[in-house]
């Protein structure tokens, strides 16, 4: 059975809070793109911590990508597919905030599992930037992509990110975990039971850490 890691809203909130100074100082985003559905809540929480006095809120746009295909009958786990399905994308005809040229764009998702979804997002958004640049002509300012995830699973990845993005440190995971199934609170049907499971998991982890220290 897959090991589960239950997260509470408080824990997610604090992960975003702890990551915000680095994002603000080093990434300096002026547009966020949340990958749905797991990136919506972290992006909204993060925006509050990225707000600077005298500056407007950073706009959040949404894209919908699906990789997980089949629900498990025994729990919240889903099977990982091999193909990313685009269910929602940016509308470049109606909103000025979808002008990507010259922006520092922060892509937000909840978990970096196989990295397939993140690879797809960066590749497809880069194509959109190229198309916009060709329409503008001349020498438009560079667009930079950054990535923030709540959890990176410490495992081999199917997908890859651009080498220059990785070398420049434009990827940030608030927390690195093993190959566990992360259960986020917005997925819960019974939030009270979810929080109890999260508390039990924390207590077990602390006990294991203490026993390891004593030995």
8 A C-beta contact, residue 29 and residue 104: yes
Give the pair of three-digit tokens for residue 102.
Answer: 């010259």
112 is catalytic: no
Q: What is the strand order of the sheet 104-112 is part of?
A: 78-88, 60-71, 31-36, 104-112, 144-153, 171-177
- Specify burial of residue 32 (Cβ count, 10 A radius: 0-12, 13-18, 19+): buried
Backbone angles phi, psi at 90, to 5 degrees: -70, 145
- The kind and range of the H/E element at 6 are strand 4-6
CB count in 10 Å sphere of residue 56? 8
Which residue(s) pair with 107 in the sheet? 33, 147
Give the pair of three-digit tokens for residue 52.
Answer: 């600077």
Q: In the chain, how long is the greatest CA-to-CA distance?
A: 65
Question: The tokens 């894209």 sit on which residue?
Answer: 63
Catalytic residue among 25, 113, 128, 192: 113
Q: Which residue in 125, 49, 57, 111 sits closest to 80, CA to CA?
A: 111
Give the pair of three-digit tokens for residue 67.
Answer: 């990789």
Residues belonging to the active site = 113
């Amino acid at each position: 059975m897959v090991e589960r890691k239950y997260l509470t809203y408080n824990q997610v909130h604090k992960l975003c809070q702890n990551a915000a100074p680095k994002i603000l100082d080093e990434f300096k985003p002026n547009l966020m793109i949340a990958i749905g559905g797991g990136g919506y809540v972290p992006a909204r929480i993060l925006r509050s911590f990225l707000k600077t006095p005298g500056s407007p809120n950073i706009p959040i746009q949404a894209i919908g990508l699906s990789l997980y295909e089949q629900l498990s009958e025994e729990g919240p786990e889903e099977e990982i597919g091999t193909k990313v399905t685009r269910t929602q994308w940016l509308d470049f005809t109606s909103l000025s905030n979808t002008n990507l040229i010259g922006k520092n764009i922060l892509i937000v998702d909840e978990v970096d599992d196989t990295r397939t979804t993140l690879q797809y997002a960066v590749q497809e958004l880069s194509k959109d930037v190229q198309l916009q640049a060709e329409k503008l002509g001349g020498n438009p300012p560079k667009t930079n992509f950054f990535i923030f995830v709540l959890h990176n699973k410490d495992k081999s990845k199917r997908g890859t990110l651009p080498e220059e993005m990785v070398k420049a440190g434009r990827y940030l995971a608030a927390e690195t975990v093993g190959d566990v199934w992360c259960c986020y609170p917005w997925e819960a049907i019974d939030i009270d039971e979810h929080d109890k499971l999260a508390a039990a998991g924390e207590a077990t982890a602390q006990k294991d850490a203490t026993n390891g220290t004593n030995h």
